[in-house]
Amino acid sequence: MFTTDPWNSRPRDNAFGQSLADLAAIALWMSDVNERSGAATIAAQHILASRTTIEQAGGVIAELNQVDIDSAMKTLAARAADQGMTVARYAAYVVEDPELC
């Protein structure tokens, strides 16, 4: 590459040039992979934290209503829908103040 005649005076076809362009595009694209990977990790952590809160709220409802966990989870989902909230958001309220449920 660093000579006055990098191709040894042989013509190269378009496929070779396209291959180099594709490799350059991939190299440039790869710089964003770490950012996307970080965003995916944060999203996964948020989902896991929400799921933990939902499980806790289900336990609270099960204990307060003396029902099994499946019934408590259905109750949680129904109450969230009645309040116009996501299950995760309503669950956070239940865990924060069980008397609200």
Predicted TM-score of the model (pTM): 0.58
pLDDT at 7 over 90: no
User: Would 34 be classed as within a structural domain?
Assistant: no
21-67 confidence digits (pLDDT tens) = 777 777 666 656 566 667 777 777 777 788 889 999 999 999 999 99
The answer to the question of residue 2 being in a domain is no
Instruction: CATH number of the domain at 75, please.
Output: 1.10.10
Range(s) of the domain holding residue 83: 39-100
Q: Output the CA angle 44-46-50, nearest 5 degrees.
A: 115
Task: Specify the number of domains making up the chain.
Answer: 1
Which pLDDT belongs to residue 44? 75
Share of the chain above pLDDT 70, in %: 66
Q: Is residue 88 part of a domain?
A: yes
Identify whether 15 is part of a domain: no
Q: Is residue 51 part of a domain?
A: yes
